[in-house]
Structure 1
Amino acid sequence: MKGTPLNDSSQLLTLTLGPVAHGGHTVARHDSRVVFVRHGLPGEVVTVRLTESEPSARFWRADVVDVLEASPDRREHPWPEADALRAARRGAAPVGGAEFGHATLQAQRQLKSAVLGEQLRRLAGLDRETEVEGVDDDGLGLHWRTRMAFAVTQDGRLGMHAHRSEEVIPVRSMPLATGAIEDLALWDLRWDGIARLEVAAPANGSEPLVVLWPREGLPAKERGKALSRAVAQLPEGVSVSSMDPETSQLLRWRGRSWVKESVAGFEYRVTGEGFWQIHRKAPETLMSAAMGFLQDGGFLREGASVADLYAGAGLFTAPLASAVGPAGAVLSVEGSPGTSRDARKNLHGQRQVEIVQGKVERVLRARPRRLDALILDPPRAGAGKTVVQQLVRSGPGGIAYVSCDPASFARDIGFFQDLGWEMRQLRAFDLYPNTHHLETVTLLTPSA
């Protein structure tokens, strides 16, 4: 487990790591100072390199560079570029995006369960231990990402950022990505004049899409040449678009500017700039859990009035429309104009569906209505107090809340409780193996 000490020995500390903390850290102490440490496990004795250590700061941050006493839950990291110990031997930082890869999958899920439980106790006053369920488990947590975003180094090599850094580290692999992305071997190509690229390879095997961002400041002629070179080196059967830096519009170069996704018999188009769950099994898993809670609770029936908030391309809108039928009513609200356009195309012909583009709180304020049930899947910041109050006023019998952040989720659960609601059911899913992230789905109802 040996790493090589970096040149500045004053930035090295030996610490005993304490419990896991939200954000992918363990908590340690140096004298009376709290230190948030990445790439360690509770109980380990490690050497760390301080990455943020202002004397006046309330806490410091650090990365593990050597393990003196290892946890039995530690394993060899499956992604070399994200391995903190290998990076330390090179005198470098690891790429971000796989900060739990040094732990066994079982240990990762135990850590995530501990974080979720701690956030619910601290922010909602709930003592609720929840098992984090594995999804499509291969034993290593690899080959699940259907979407990837890469930066590009100044010399045109594909890379990713180090944690909390603008530094771009070249990569030669990405084992978290599906085989369809790995097979493109984008790291073997040159990307001169390109600042960033994203790739989406749908789990249904349909045509992948690469979106290119040219470097800022390039004259139009040079920008066009850089994009032409980039497009020409990609294999046939891959759609390519670019983001216009002046208009922020997606420009189609080859194929189509969107991908086709399939979930439980529903078809979706998602543009290159649109949101879609990145784990290949995530859409089906979350749809099944959220719809299952509402259906089993008797909140969905023919003719019901329901809503899908933060609706994206309509992942939940489509099954809601099917559940309530032509006599029902579905309000689908999404803030992003491009993603809202996707939803309009995906739900075209469903007359019971009203698609509104705008911020959820503004739409609910402008269009108050009674609802029988709803699903909300907010971004990482959560729904917030104002939206929670608006939802309660709409009078639903049940709410399925899908969350990707345990802190904002627990905070919002506290808001619901303050208004006389309670959490009836809760499931947690490991849809981001080898990272600290997880997804939760809960059923909320008015208290008896």
Structure 2
Amino acid sequence: MTPRTSSAATTEADAAGHEGEEAVLDVGPVAHGGHCVARHEGRVVFVRHAIPGEKVRARLTDAGEDAKFWRADTIEVLEASPDRVEHFWRPADSLRAWSNGHPPVGGAEFGHMALARQRSLKAEVLAEQLRRLAGVELSTEVEAVGKDAGTKGAATGAVGEASDGGGGLGWRTRASFSVTPAGKLGMHAHRSGYIVPVRDMPLATEAINALRLWDLDLQGVERVEVAAPANGSRPLVLLAPAPGTKDKRLKAIAAQLPADVSVAGFDPLTGSVTQLKGRTWVQESAAGHDYRVTGEGFWQIHRDAPETLVGSVTEFLQGGGFLHSGAVVADLYAGAGLFTAVLADAVGETGSVLSVEGSPGTSRDARKNLHAAPQVEVVQGRVERVLRQKPRNFDALILDPPRAGAGKPVVGQLVAAQPRAIAYVSCDPASFARDLGYFQRSGWELAGLRAFDLYPHTHHLETVALLVPAP
């Protein structure tokens, strides 16, 4: 290890063990979480912004003397992979950021790789998690979606050139930003309180970039959330005020945005929203239905994700004969009702759909969105509690939990409900594989699995699985 720090940085590094020092690393396999595994002097180092097989110089960013493993960012590539490309976004490019003396922003940690290599690495992570946590030996292709289907190379070009969602860019219909102490739009560096100012967001749709939020004076605001529906309907900007900020200041910021943009204040802790201009919700569209989504209410962020996931889920359930007219089904962690509305169409008025969502605000949205479907019962509450209170002979369940997964108690309750099949939608391969292990130990098996690249240039992926009781 060769320290290459200034005297001031050395003092800081000494206080944090070896943080700030540099090391030459031979990069090993990809690991879950957006980094690769390397070793230095017998210690495991999780290094970001590298590709397996490369030799890099990395800056240690989390390197306490007693830590079981260290973390590092690549700052120089000594031996490059043939899959390395120029990063499309300067603030997220580790090489450029550290050459300017600061860490890169998070959210585009795979942007230095060709898209095909990104997907192959995600497939490796999924296979490793299934093997390690569920004992399942299975290799699954990570499929591109929308304009990226068939794309094998890198994303290149400016924001405007990719605003149609091609090349792995322009797909985010939602974006989250921080605010610098000077009141400028920014984003946090990975695992850091450091905020990097930004003046574009290439992963976001043109509708988000066209707002030019980076031109606003955002003093008095701590966080900004933006939703711009893929159907072109009115975007919503949410402003989380800093302590002591008055509504007058938020209204002054709202006045700087175009008249056809809604603006609301919001409390990240409670999710409550306060109208400043326009409405406090957006109207999304998918699978022949319109959905009202209030404030920070959950909606898939990739412009093509709702149709992709609905298609995969219904194909699994209908293909197995579990979803049909008159069926009894449930949509768990239902959000604003994306899957619920499609289930209601499939079962018809002779069937029934139980839609369960824990968030009170999102559950209210679901009631509004589904009020015309008499076969749907919308219940707000914890999944395991609702299933105990409303036992039914289910033909099928859809399970779309948050990133942490369902967990052992919920899996136990689902098994006890004795459905004929479960379609499990997951945004995290580790929590999915863990839950799959719980299902298997309860006598269930994996009958089908698809994986989708709904988060290009990040390490994230989405999976849809069909689970059934073992014969």
TM-score higher than 0.5 = yes
2: CA distance, partners of 1:395 / 1:102: 46
Work out which of the residue numbers 123, 134, 140 in structure 2 matches 1:124: 134
Contact 1:79 1:175 (C-alpha < 8 Å) held by counterparts: yes
Q: Distance in 2 between matches of 1:274 and 1:224?
A: 22
**Which residue in the other structure is 2:469 paired with?**
446
CA distance in 2, matches of 1:273, 1:284: 21
- CA drift of 1:349 comes to 2.2
Aligned pair in 2 of structure 1 residues 6, 189: CA closer, same or farther (>3 Å)?
farther
Deviation of residue 365 (structure 1)?
2.2
Instruction: Determine helix, strand or coil for the equivalent of 2:355.
Output: strand
CA distance in 2, matches of 1:266, 1:242: 28
CA-to-aligned-CA distance 1:93-129 (integer Å, 9 cap, x gap) = 0000000000000000000000000000000101100
**Residue 280, structure 1, aligned to residue 303, structure 2:** yes
**Aligned partner (choices 179, 192, 201) of residue 165 of structure 1:** 192
1:228, distance to aligned residue in structure 2 (A): 1.8
1:402-421 equivalences in 2 (<5 Å)? 402-421=425-444
In the TM superposition, what are the counterparts of 1:175-190 in structure 2 within 5 Å?
Answer: 175-190=202-217
Q: 1:276 to 1:246 in 2, by over 3 A?
A: closer
**Dislocated runs of 4+, deviation >4 Å:** 244-248
Paired residue for 1:381? 404
Q: 1 CA distance for matches of 2:109 and 2:269?
A: 35
Task: After TM superposition, give the deviation of residue 303 of structure 1 in Å.
Answer: 1.4
* 1:148 match: secondary structure: strand
Q: Which position in structure 1 is the counterpart of 2:265?
A: 242
Please give the secondary structure, in 2, of the residue aligned with 1:413.
helix
**Residue matched to 2:47:** 37
- Deviation (angstroms), 1:323: 0.7
Letter in 2 for 1:168: I
Paired residues, number: 441
Paired with 1:25 and 1:163, the residues of 2 have a C-alpha distance of 12
CA distance in 2, matches of 1:58, 1:24: 18
Partner SS for 1:316: helix
Structure 2 matches for 1:194-209, cutoff 5 A? 194-209=221-236
2:334 equivalent in structure 1: 311
Q: Contact between 1:146 and 1:178, CA under 8 Å: does it hold in 2?
A: yes
2:220 pairs with 160, 169, 193, which one? 193
Determine if contact 1:273/1:338 at 8 Å carries over to the other structure.
Answer: no
Counterpart-to-counterpart distance in 1, 2:263 and 2:292: 15
Which residue of 1 is the match for residue 93 of structure 2? 83
Does the residue aligned with 1:198 lie in a helix, a strand or coil? strand
For the Cα contact (< 8 Å) 1:6–1:88, is it kept in 2?
no
Decide whether the 8 Å contact of 2:271 with 2:296 is kept in 1: no
TM-score (norm 1): 0.96
Asked if residue 349 in structure 1 is aligned to residue 383 in structure 2, the reply is no
Within 5 A, what are the aligned runs for 1:232-271? 232-243=255-266, 249-271=272-294
Q: Which runs of 5+ in 1 are unaligned?
A: none
Distance 2:77 2:340 in 1: 48
Amino acid at match of 1:424: A
Distance in 2 separating the partners of 1:371 and 1:53: 51
2:424 is the counterpart of 1:401: yes
Q: CA deviation at 1:397?
A: 1.3
Q: Compute the TM-score of the two structures, normalised by the length of structure 2.
A: 0.91
AA of the residue aligned to 2:233: S
1:111 is aligned to 121
Change (3 A) 1:137 1:318: same
Q: 5 Å matches for 1:310-349?
A: 310-349=333-372
Structure 1 stretch displaced more, 363-372 or 179-188:
363-372
Q: Greater shift after overlay, 28-37 or 428-437?
A: 28-37
Q: Which deviations, in whole Å up to 9, do the C-alpha atoms of 1:229-266 show, x marking residues without a partner?
A: 20110011101111258975211111111111111211
Match of 2:175 in 1: 148
SS in 1 for 2:177: strand
Deviates more, 1:306-315 or 1:255-264: 255-264
| CA-to-aligned-CA distance 1:155-189 (integer Å, 9 cap, x gap) | 11000000011111100110000011111111111
> Which has the higher mean CA deviation after the structures are superposed, 45-54 or 367-376?
367-376
Report if the CA contact (8 A) 1:374-1:396 is conserved: yes
1:109 partner SS: helix
Counterparts of 1:195 and 1:237, CA distance in 2: 24
Identity of aligned residues (%): 65
Q: Give the root-mean-square deviation of aligned CA atoms.
A: 1.5
Which of 193, 202, 216 is 2:243 aligned to?
Answer: 216
Question: Helix, strand or coil for the counterpart of 1:351?
Answer: coil
Of 61, 65, 80, which residue of structure 2 is paired with 1:70? 80
Contact 2:271–2:295 (CA under 8 A) maintained in structure 1: no
Specify which of 13, 22, 26 is matched with residue 36 of structure 2.
26
* Structure 2: segments with no counterpart, 5+ residues: 11-17, 156-167
Partners in 2 of 1:246 and 1:52 — Cα distance?
Answer: 28
Partner of 1:17: 27
Q: Secondary structure at the match of 1:23?
A: coil
Alignment partners' CA distance in 2, 1:182 and 1:298: 44
C-alpha contact 2:250 2:276 (8 A) present in aligned 1: no
The alpha-carbon deviation at position 393 of structure 1 amounts to 1.6
